[in-house]
Amino acid sequence: MPAGIIAGSGLYDIADFETVELKRIDTPFGEPSDLYRIGRLNGHEIVFLPRHGSPHRIPPHRVNYRANIWGFKELGVNRIISVSAVGGINDRLRPGDMVILDQIIDMTGGSRKNTFYDDEVVHVDFTEPYCPELRQFLINAAEEVDLKIHPSGSYVAVNGPRLETKAEIAFFKLIGADVVGMTAMPEAVLARELELCFAGIAVVTNYAAGISSKKLTTTEVIENMKIANKHILKLIKQSLPYLHKERKCSCKDALKEARL
Ligand code: HPA
């Protein structure tokens, strides 16, 4: 089974990735952000999708998350690694740091299409929004290549596209958020609804609003993400052999007893 990689701001290509096919997928939910790039990375089958399209043109609140995740499933992917740029809220985090996310606080406010089950009653368990097994693969891989990562962290998902106010970030800090970003929701829950394993590598591209006195800029986000690219790739490459193992987590059974 191929593994999926979905990446956002500042990571549009994977060095050494050999593209075998560019595939357009039509889904019942509309068009994904781009053609899926199917190919090989260090001999491993990978499907890559740039979340914001190429060139980067789709803002986070307009991404067709349902189509993107559906397309991966249709291509036979069962594990997805999602890479995203985030603002650092936790004082221990610095620009350039990588966090293997373990929790999410959804502040997108219900404005996004966040389920495949609009006409059926389905409640998937989301206690652990990221696949524990896939997270552990990434943590192991980081250790093997001596890459410093933060092995856990809570992501607060906001709708955007504006950045946050100082008071909002102070509030998010108070409720336990470590990083802030605009894409983990509904991506993570949609993967769960299709019984796919999903892990998130968050790359701190800036201090969140009010954490430092500097004005936030999109230029800073993209530049820091580009600097981090080689570390992200190192981590992903080292994790590749793990991604084809048989799944032992409960993601593959997410719909069992979830339907009314
Ligand atoms: N806020 C929200 N989303 C982001 C940020 C931020 O500070 N940095 C990168 N994505």
Return the CATH number at 170: 3.40.50.1580
Q: Is 74 exposed, middle or buried (0-12, 13-18, 19+ CB in 10 A)?
A: middle
Angstrom distances, CA of residue 195 to CA of 191, 201, 251, 252: 6, 19, 5, 5
- Domain contains 205: yes
- Domain contains 148: yes
Residue 258: predicted pLDDT: 86
- Domain contains 259: no
- Domain range for 134 is 3-253
Nearest-5° Cα angle at 29, 104 to 24: 100
135: phi then psi, degrees, rounded to nearest 5 = -60, -45
Residue 14: predicted pLDDT: 80
What's the 68 CA to ligand 1 centre distance in angstroms? 21
What's the 105 CA to ligand 1 centre distance in angstroms? 14
Q: Among the atoms of ligand 1, which is closest to the Cα of residue 164?
A: 1
Residue 246: predicted pLDDT: 93
Q: What global pTM score does this model have?
A: 0.96
- Domain contains 260: no
- Domain contains 83: yes
For atom 2 of ligand 1, which residue has the closest CA?
Answer: 181
Within 6 Å (CB) of ligand 1, which residues are found?
A: 85-87, 158, 163-164, 180-182, 205-206, 208, 216, 221
pLDDT of 81-125, one tens digit each? Answer: 999 999 999 999 999 999 999 999 999 998 899 999 999 999 999
Number of domains in the chain: 1
Residue 54: predicted pLDDT: 87
Residue 88: predicted pLDDT: 98
- Domain contains 232: yes
Residue 259: predicted pLDDT: 86
Secondary structure of the chain in HEC code, one letter for each residue: CCEEEEECCCCCCCCCCEEEEEECCCECCECCCCCEEEEEECCEEEEEEECCCCCCCCCHHHCCHHHHHHHHHHCCCCEEEEEEEEEECCCCCCCCCEEECCEEEEECCCCCCCCCCCCCCECCCCCCCCCHHHHHHHHHHHHHCCCCCECCCEEEEECCCCCCCHHHHHHHHHCCCCEEECCHHHHHHHHHHCCCEEEEEEEEEEECECCECCCCCHHHHHHHHHHHHHHHHHHHHHHHHHHHCCCCCCHHHCCCCCEC
Q: Show pLDDT as tens, one digit a residue, over the chain (260 residues).
A: 899 999 987 676 787 889 999 999 999 999 999 999 999 999 999 999 999 998 889 999 999 999 999 999 999 999 999 999 999 999 999 999 999 999 999 999 988 999 999 999 999 999 999 999 999 999 999 999 999 999 999 999 999 999 999 999 999 999 999 999 999 999 999 999 999 999 999 999 999 999 998 888 889 888 888 888 999 999 999 999 999 899 999 999 999 988 88
| Cβ-contact 183, 158 below 8 angstroms | no
Q: Cα 97 vs. chain centroid, distance in angstroms?
A: 15
Q: Cα 258 vs. chain centroid, distance in angstroms?
A: 24
pLDDT of 32-48, one tens digit each? Answer: 999 999 999 999 999 99
- Domain contains 258: no
In whole numbers, what is the pLDDT of the chain averaged over residues?
95
> Tokens representing 34?
């781009």
User: What is the C-alpha to C-alpha distance for residues 228 and 83, in angstroms, rounded to an integer?
Assistant: 11
For atom 9 of ligand 1, which residue has the closest CA?
Answer: 86
| Cβ-contact 207, 90 below 8 angstroms | no
- Domain contains 173: yes
Q: Cα 5 vs. chain centroid, distance in angstroms?
A: 8
Paired sense of beta strands 79-88 and 197-207, if any: parallel
* Residue 25: count of CB within 10 angstroms of its CB: 17
